[in-house]
Amino acid sequence: MIKMTKKTFKTITFGCKVNFYETEAVREALERMGYIHTEENPAIYVLNTCAVTATAERKCLTRIHDIVRDHPNATLVIMGCFSQLSYSKFKEIPQIKIVVGTEGRIDIPANIEKAVFDPDFHYFQIAKNTRTFFYEPLIIQNFYTESRAYVKIQDGCDGFCTFCVIPFVRGKSRCRNRVSILREVQTLVRNNFHEIVITGIDTDCYVDPDNPTYNFVELLKDIDDICGTDCRVRISSIEPTRVSDEFLEFMKNSKSIVPHIHLPLQSGSDQILKAMRRRYDSKLYMNTVRRLKEKIPNLALSTDVIVGFPGESEEDFQNTYDICKEVEFMKIHVFPYSPRPFTPAGKMKNQINGNIAHDRAKRLIALSNEEAEKYKESIKGQERTVLFESKDKNGYWQGYTEDYVPYKIKSDENLKNVFMKVRM
């Protein structure tokens, strides 16, 4: 039983930006009920889990077991994709009192309150059919980082890429009402946030559920009007097939959208892209890159790549490597392929040896590091605007430029949440 004098909690988040948003919504709801967020010996741990890879699952389980071992009297609350996928893994751990999946997060604070008063209270609620999910109306007013806030506009996915478990655990694509989104952006700007990241599971498929003609670009235009030059806006990701002329024209003229695009590649091999059920080939991808760079000359690009997908030959991998080198990404997020439950790729016969996949990952990570240094070298002497976020133990303030290059400066001033023009 949690004593009333110990209504303290800590949130731990694994995975994507959507997870961080959902954790923040739960955190704020608990604080409105009188709970105190703390990093030191909380009575309650709220963990938002990830299932995108087997490695992500292992990290979640390791952290849970560490907490149970080191804090045996703590109460654990588990939510997110991993609990939606494998909730039975948590049933035998007595410290875990509440488990929800990717629906029902809005009820977590009320159920924690019940656990405070009833030592025998348990709440395990996992929806069996994720395709029937509606958009869950979570809301935030602040963000724990205090300088950058995420705004979730969409959930779920209808893509069903053959490697991805997310459509099975998050359900069908569904979008948030634009009025709610814009109101939240206004609140965050009013609360002195200087960067907002627009995020979702399939962010750029956005269509207002109340007005089917109001699309992603229309939403960005309204957000741009709210943020102006006082708050910069970052788009978490956009699919290569959805970079329309309308989007490019908006990016070129926007007041607040930063010149940084995350454009998932996944593979540079047309054969592998087809097997992945991606909706583009390497030619379309490179054409999209060309159009972006022509319209936005100072654009920085980052990407995701999966190596070791079933059937990936050395030639397939080399095609991926060559495209990554040609594009000159400022950052490549590299993932060795991980078989996932329910996915077609997980059942494919031509699985790649893990050692081969990890060797390819190392080679691509080495290229990513080289390209990152080349990008930094290419912008030396140029002016950038840094938003400072935190100070390290050596007295350096750390932040990011608009094109997401890390920057630090030693200063005795309080630079938290401050914009500063710098020479790179």
pLDDT band (50, 70, 90) for residue 324: very high
**Phi and psi based region of residue 41 (left: phi greater than 0; alpha: psi -120 to 50; beta: remaining):** left
- The torsion of the CA quartet 154, 155, 161, 166, rounded to 10 degrees, works out to 150
Domain 4-128 has CATH 3.40.50.12160: yes
pLDDT in the model for residue 314? 98
pLDDT for the residue 178: 98
CATH top-level class for 131-258?
alpha beta
What phi and psi values does residue 390 have, to the nearest 5 degrees? -155, 165
Q: How confident is the model at residue 371 (pLDDT cuts 50, 70, 90)?
A: very high
Largest CA distance in the chain: 63
Closest C-alpha among 66, 129, 68, 126 to residue 99: 126
Tell whether the model's pLDDT for residue 5 goes beyond 80. Answer: no
- Pick the range with the lowest mean pLDDT from 114-118, 250-254, 261-265, 391-395: 114-118
Band (3; pLDDT cuts 50, 70, 90): very low
Cα-flanking dihedrals φ and ψ of residue 275, to 5°? -65, -30
Q: Taking 50 as the threshold, does the pLDDT of residue 1 lie above it? A: no
Q: How many CA atoms lie within 13 A of 135 on its CB side?
A: 23
The sheet that has 44-49: what strands, in order across it?
36-37, 8-13, 44-49, 75-80, 96-100, 123-125
pLDDT in tens, 272-306: 999 999 999 999 999 999 999 999 988 999 999 99
Q: What whole-number distance in Å separates Cα of residue 170 and Cα of residue 148?
A: 25
Q: What is the pLDDT of residue 133?
A: 80
Report the b/e string of 129-167 with b at 16+ CB within 10 A: ebeebebbebebebbeeebbbbbbbbbbbebebbbbbbb
To the nearest whole number, what is the mean pLDDT of the chain?
95
**Averaged over 23-28, what is the pLDDT?**
97
Mean pLDDT, residues 373-400 = 94
Q: Is the pLDDT of residue 2 over 70?
A: no
- Which residue, 245, 259, 264, 254, is CA-closest to 202? 264
Confidence class of residue 118 from pLDDT cuts 50, 70 and 90? confident
pLDDT per residue as tens digits for the range 209-220: 999 999 999 999
Q: Where are the domains of the chain?
A: 4-128, 131-258, 383-423
pTM of the entire predicted model: 0.95
pLDDT value at position 279? 97
Would the CATH topology of 4-128 be identical to that of 131-258? no
Per-residue pLDDT for 4 more than 50? Answer: no
End-to-end CA distance of the chain: 54
